[in-house]
Structure 1
Amino acid sequence: MKTPSNDIELIKNQAAGTFYVITLNIESITNEESMIFPNGEANCMNWILGHIIYIRNAFLNVLGEESIWDKEKFSCYNRGEIPLNRKDELISFEDLKSYLQQSQDKLITKLSSLESFDSEKIKDISALSLHEIYHSGQLGYLRRILGKPGAIK
């Protein structure tokens, strides 16, 4: 197998970096804490993590890989949903952490198997990578709102 192209290495590094940031930011957060909606309306940590995973499934699909969960069953985490209205459908934070790890393993395995990206998919791939970066930062702010020390030093 040839050496992967630079764009694949870049996305692999971004995926590893955002996974690291997400993991640090959700460390020691309980399920109860993950369900707190700041100001009684802002998205809770549970929804943001589930949303990252939901959209990561689209990322896997763009790369030609199967999703790790059924998008209909977990539709409460889709873009545009109002988590406060669907809070009874949100799954446990521990289960989300497990799904995050599964998605990470699958994403890195898939990226490691590729030699190049389909040029028609570059915009989608870069947008999906940016999506993870954006929401991983939100988890850092939510962590502080919950009274935890910052995880990124």
Structure 2
Amino acid sequence: METQSNDIEIIKTQVVSSYQVISLNINGITHEESMIFPNGEANCMNWILGHLIYIRNFFLNVLGEESVWDIEKFSFYNRGEIALDHKDELISFEDLQSYLKQSQDKLEAKLNTLDSFKPEMIKDISTLSLHEIYHSGQLGYLRRILGKPGAIK
């Protein structure tokens, strides 16, 4: 069997690490807490997690996999949407955690089947990885704003 290229190994490590950071930062957060908008208007934890999953679906699609949810049905989690305008549509935090796990399982499984990325995929994949890192850090700050202890030690 051919070994995977370094770019696959880098992305696999980032996907696993991002998931661990996200999981630690959302651990113990209730749905009610996830719906708190800092300063009355900054994105709540629910929207940020939903947005992460929304964009993870594009990550899956770039890799040739199906999304874990219907993009149209969950479009209020898309980039550019104002979370506060959609507060009555945001789904339960528990359901989001389930979708996150599904996306993780699919991403890891798909990455384990690939030997290399097509050159035209590299820009999208690196941008999508950066996106995960950016928002997983936001979840850490939101956790602290909610009065929880920092999760990354």
Same-fold call, TM cutoff 0.5: yes
Q: Does 1:89 align with 2:89?
A: yes
Matched with 1:9 is 9
Per-residue CA distance 1:52-88 (angstroms, 9 max, x = gap): 0000000000011110100000001000000100111
Cα distance in structure 2, aligned partners of 1:19 and 1:38:
24
The residue type paired with residue 142 of structure 1 is: L
Q: Which runs of 5+ in 1 are unaligned?
A: none
Q: Does 1:39 align with 2:27?
A: no
The residue type paired with residue 21 of structure 2 is: V
Cα distance in structure 2, aligned partners of 1:89 and 1:72:
13
| Superposition CA RMSD, Å | 0.4
Cα distance in structure 2, aligned partners of 1:120 and 1:22:
28
Q: Does 1:76 align with 2:81?
A: no
The residue type paired with residue 138 of structure 2 is: Q
SS in 2 for 1:61: helix
- How many residues were matched structurally? 153
Task: Output aligned runs, 1:1-153, within 5 Å.
Answer: 1-153=1-153
Cα distance in structure 2, aligned partners of 1:2 and 1:125:
22
Cα distance in structure 2, aligned partners of 1:83 and 1:89:
9
Once the two structures are TM-superposed, the CA of residue 123 in structure 1 deviates from its matched residue by 0.4
What percent of counterpart residues are identical? 78
Cα distance in structure 2, aligned partners of 1:2 and 1:136:
33
Runs of 4 or more off by more than 4 Å in structure 1?
Answer: none
Cα distance in structure 2, aligned partners of 1:18 and 1:122:
18
Cα distance in structure 2, aligned partners of 1:103 and 1:2:
26
User: TM-score, with normalisation over the residues of structure 2?
Assistant: 0.99
SS in 1 for 2:49: helix
Once the two structures are TM-superposed, the CA of residue 2 in structure 1 deviates from its matched residue by 1.2
